[in-house]
Amino acid sequence: MTLNMKRIKYILTSFIALLFLTSCNELDLTPEDYYGSGNYWKNASQVETAMQGLHIRARAYYWSLFQMGELRGGTFHVGASMIGTSLDAQQIVTNSLSEDIPGISNWGNGIYYVIFPLNQFITEVENGCTFLTESQRDYYLGQAYGMRAFYYFMLYRTYGGVPLITKPDVITSTSAEQLYVARSTAEQTLKLVKDDITASENYFGTSASSQKVYWTPNATQMLKAQVYLWSAKVATGDHAAGGQAELTIAKNALQNIMGQYSLLDDFGSIFDTKNKNNAETIFAFRFLEGEATMANVGYFVAEDRYFNGLFYTEEGKKMNDTLEVLNANPHLLRYVYKWGLFESMNENDTRIAATFLPCYSPADSTNTTFKPAGLLYRKTLGSINAANNRIYDADWVVYRYADALLMMAEIENGLNNFAGAADYINQVRARAYGYNGDLSGFSTAYPAEVYAAGDFADNELAILHERDKEFVLECSRWFDVVRLRGKDGKSICFSATSGYTDIDDNTQKPVLDYATQSHMLLWPINVELLNQDPLLTQTPGYPTNYGDRNK
């Protein structure tokens, strides 16, 4: 591992001493006391504080989830923004990855920093903490196993087989050699994920919870559906796709939560900071002013000084602080979605105004006609505080009910229930057009927008495009194009139908070229990892200077 021994020990012994500024109503993020490693795990309050710390640490990696789940998906503009700034993460956006330019380093920019404390928590609570009641112990372990499965699944979808570390034994290591861990196979990694999900289910038992910002039994069911849907369709290394048997497991997991949540009538209100804990959200990372905010979202908007009076509406009206960015922290526009994604959305689809602000520039010197300049993002921009500053305090929604419905559409499609797949698509689409729960009204008002079931491949493409409109910046697009299938049966990322045109590129291209980039469904690991751990091997398909290890 790249973490040196001292840092690993620090992670395992001091994660419970995380310091945060304030607390929130549902997730108290301020430890009541400082507990040193020598006197920890002595009472229920300490265990509760440790669980809070685990959620805090998990939340800190929200941007890694974006990098791993969205950036490679073919929806981001390449080059410069409309205000002239160079765009970030271009090697990821363009899929120009190698062991020297891996896009992300150190296993998802340090996902093991989340996993190590989870291992410690599971070991302590499972083998000790006799002061806890049985129900307390089981609920804590249901949370911890579910969260560990979540992060190992992120690693699995990103790298395939990874080092499997489930015990905090490294805390007693006395040499670097004891910390070397080889990559397990893809099948072994996926088995750990599934085993952890089963453990989470068993510990939760019949428990129920309406919490949104702690891991819950329903979060485990959403994860289980994701895992088995992926396992059913995506072959990775020595793992062969499981087909309909695993689709049925995924369907049963989702049926466990159906009826407990509902789509909100107003799409934009899902992300409104005044509407946290809403009926559609299943699990989210909580952000609050003065405690922790999603500052990186600021890289999707332009500051007033680079925007006011410089861009226009399509009708030619000058735009001035339309997004009320107001005294935002000094961010430059670094991430821009492709214009073709915006154009794919019908003007009557309410998601378009809730997600994007299209900006135009004069097409000629007369200022009478206007051409697309670029897109600003607006879905999770947070709020304006009392000091008139923008605060990026919207919650980062990990699971919501619309995802359950579109996963059900994909499952039914895989089980050859094409009409059922279309019904789930239309439930999500009806809400977008203002007819939530009223499919009859939707079909009367917008007959051309009602999805009529096609064959398997047609439905897969329809599900992809519905997810594209629904889940912008929700860490889904890359995983969607890998998992969904094209007409040739391959991942749809190899089909041009998965691509979007852009302002300066009207060609619809696949996300990846099958002939030369089929290995890039997985990411490379960075050269520093290979250099520091002699047991590690490079992800198959990537040229490496450490080829002898891969034999």
* Sequential DSSP letters for 332-400: -----B-HHHHHTS-TT-THHHHHEEEEEEESSTTSSSEEEEEEEE-TT--EE-TTS-EE----EEEEE
Running DSSP on this structure, what letter comes out for residue 283?
Answer: E
Which distant-in-sequence residues (6+ apart) come within 8 Å of 473 by Cβ? 66, 70, 297, 300, 377, 379, 380
Q: Which residue is it, tokens 């709020």?
A: 383
Indicate the residue type of 59. R
| pTM for this model (two decimals) | 0.92
8 A C-beta contact, residue 325 and residue 390: yes
Cα distance between the two ends of the chain: 21
551 residues of the chain, pLDDT tens digit each: 444 434 434 333 333 333 222 333 333 333 333 334 557 899 999 999 999 999 999 999 999 999 999 999 999 999 999 999 999 999 999 999 999 999 999 999 999 999 999 999 999 999 999 999 999 999 999 999 999 999 999 999 999 999 999 998 755 554 555 568 999 999 999 999 999 999 999 999 998 888 899 999 999 999 999 999 999 999 999 999 999 999 999 999 999 999 999 999 999 999 999 999 999 999 999 999 999 999 899 999 988 888 888 999 999 999 987 777 666 666 789 999 999 999 999 999 999 999 999 999 999 888 889 999 999 999 999 998 988 888 999 999 999 999 999 999 999 999 999 999 999 999 999 999 999 999 999 999 999 999 999 999 999 999 999 999 999 999 999 999 999 999 999 999 999 999 999 999 999 999 999 999 999 999 999 999 999 889 999 999 999 876 545 44
For residue 279, give the nearest of 177, 400, 395, 124 by alpha carbon.
400
Cα separations in angstroms, 95 against 102, 138, 275: 10, 43, 37
Running DSSP on this structure, what letter comes out for residue 485?
Answer: B
* CA-based torsion, 146, 148, 151, 153: positive or negative: negative
Indicate the residue type of 467. R
Buried b (16+ CB within 10 A) or exposed e, 503-533: bebeeeebbbeeeebeebbbbbbbbebbeeb
For 170, list phi and psi in degrees, rounded to 5.
-65, -15
Structure tokens at 427: 């439930």
Return d(Cα 112, Cα 193) in angstroms, integer.
14
Beta bridge partners of 377: 356
Beta bridge partners of 390: 384
Return d(Cα 406, Cα 466) in angstroms, integer.
8
8 A C-beta contact, residue 459 and residue 422: yes
Return d(Cα 410, Cα 305) in angstroms, integer.
45
* CA-based torsion, 452, 458, 463, 469: positive or negative: negative
Return d(Cα 66, Cα 397) in angstroms, integer.
12
